[in-house]
Structure 1
């Protein structure tokens, strides 16, 4: 059992702090595109109370283009090594098997794959390890996913896709206890699709896999509020609370302190677990 599996046993939602070591991510691209800046951000998010750090070296915003595995590793490895030295669960945000293998060897606790292990060899890399895996739904690819996405029933279709990917993972030797699922807010979905997924998040929770929700600063919040991407903290916190209220276990955020403060209030009112506030 790795560190993430242990803290998932606690009866409380977990906060995953985002570190994009990229020049072009949708919210913070270019802010942390050097090792020094990214490490400083990691230190800040830990101080603010992040339970997990999610470190990525390739933008997956709509219209983004892929980078090579070597370049991705150059970006993320020094930050991952620093985060691991701080004894916090670490996630690598990647879809490349070679990046998965290198970062698993380094000691990451979670592979967070927007492509749900569909790249050739990805299933085997994770199956040959003890790492946890987050399988995310995405219709299309980042460069084209927002070109008129279509669903008959978005919640049912997302669940069906994730069940298929879970079955593929289990058949390769990945234990169910190592699997987290993510509906993929903003990945091949319109504004209405995202709202329907948030309303129906409890249906994903009913699959009995931990659900990760990544709503922080997403365009759906900009549509609702009219705010620019870096002015969506309050909307992001509201969305995080709605997701937790539906049963999401991990909330992926850019603004750790604001989210943690809101979770403290949520815990006090809902009495999530004895000691929850003390932990925060």
Structure 2
């Protein structure tokens, strides 16, 4: 799959449909606001929209499938209708290229939510638990044949911060080993290798230093041949390095991490700030890819 992807970095734009996300909770929790943000991100060059209706930040409350669907489906419907009508089109990357439709990813670890999302027009499933939280998501994704972002994490929002011991092997080997085991489970459930996208899970069950070590070790993960997605946007470890407690003020730290991701061959970066990061990715692509 990695070889068939464009030799450039795609930017995925985050649209949180929750009131309690760590950096923009409540901004897009109405369908019309989510659609406006989708239009804004796509106009800035974002190619993939990632809709999330369950916060996964440390300490977040698990809201259950019913409320997650209540938050997700109206926004998904509006965005899908805008794509089908031609109202939402990606920015053309070349003078003679036709603009393409953006892809819709849904950030969920629940099989019922994933099933409803795919029926409602989602193109990808982005699972922060890599199939751990609800194993029924794996045969569902297998049958759909859609891209499946398999993220590394441990525990849940309540316990992740206490699960940072990777032993003598270190965080890079630990994450690689656990991603491989999760991929084996997914493939045993029928998911094809070509569907998989790995996310090393920055900020999930990792300390600041471990996040930095993992970023330095991205070429090791990329060498496995599975496309990589990395989501550094506004995260705590950037705040710790910069001594910046305000999540929205971490743009330039995020940009530095994105440049590192591009240099390591990462295929997709998941961010909140579409326009600036699209520019960073394009310039970094010109330098390294």
Same fold (TM over 0.5): yes
> Could you tell me whether the CA contact under 8 Å between 1:97 and 1:125 is conserved in 2?
yes
Report what 2:36 is aligned to: 40
1:83 Cα offset (Å): 2.6
Report what 1:133 is aligned to: 148
Q: How high is the TM-score relative to the length of structure 2?
A: 0.89
Report what 2:58 is aligned to: 62
1:255 Cα offset (Å): 0.6
Q: How high is the TM-score relative to the length of structure 1?
A: 0.91
Secondary structure of the residue that 1:128 maps to in structure 2?
helix
- Give me the whole-angstrom Cα distance separating, in 1, the residues matched to 2:287 and 2:138: 41
- Give me the whole-angstrom Cα distance separating, in 2, the residues matched to 1:40 and 1:51: 15
The counterpart of 2:114, out of the listed 90, 100, 124, is: 100
1:96 Cα offset (Å): 0.6
Secondary structure of the residue that 1:203 maps to in structure 2?
helix
Report what 2:6 is aligned to: 10
Matched, 1:260 2:278: yes
The counterpart of 2:160, out of the listed 137, 140, 145, is: 145
Select between 125-134 and 19-28 the one with higher mean Cα deviation.
Answer: 125-134
* Moved segments of 4+, more than 6 Å: 5-8
- Give me the whole-angstrom Cα distance separating, in 2, the residues matched to 1:107 and 1:180: 19
The counterpart of 2:239, out of the listed 187, 201, 222, is: 222
1:167 Cα offset (Å): 0.9
> Could you tell me whether the CA contact under 8 Å between 1:108 and 1:131 is conserved in 2?
no
Matched, 1:90 2:107: no
> Could you tell me whether the CA contact under 8 Å between 2:48 and 2:102 is conserved in 1?
yes
CA deviations 1:80-117 (Å, max 9, x no partner) are 22332323111000001000111111221110001101
- Give me the whole-angstrom Cα distance separating, in 2, the residues matched to 1:26 and 1:150: 24
Q: Which runs of 5+ in 2 are unaligned?
A: 84-100
Secondary structure of the residue that 1:53 maps to in structure 2?
strand
- Give me the whole-angstrom Cα distance separating, in 2, the residues matched to 1:264 and 1:61: 29
1:61 Cα offset (Å): 0.4
The counterpart of 1:172, out of the listed 189, 198, 203, is: 189
> Could you tell me whether the CA contact under 8 Å between 2:155 and 2:163 is conserved in 1?
no
Matched, 1:251 2:231: no
Report what 2:97 is aligned to: none
Select between 159-168 and 83-92 the one with higher mean Cα deviation.
Answer: 83-92
- Give me the whole-angstrom Cα distance separating, in 2, the residues matched to 1:52 and 1:7: 19
1:54 Cα offset (Å): 0.3
Q: Which runs of 5+ in 1 are unaligned?
A: 273-280
Report what 2:22 is aligned to: 26
1:161 Cα offset (Å): 0.7
- Give me the whole-angstrom Cα distance separating, in 1, the residues matched to 2:80 and 2:6: 21
Alpha carbon RMSD of aligned pairs, Å?
1.6
Report what 1:275 is aligned to: none
Report what 1:277 is aligned to: none
The counterpart of 1:237, out of the listed 255, 261, 264, is: 255
> Could you tell me whether the CA contact under 8 Å between 2:109 and 2:129 is conserved in 1?
yes
Q: How many residues align?
A: 267
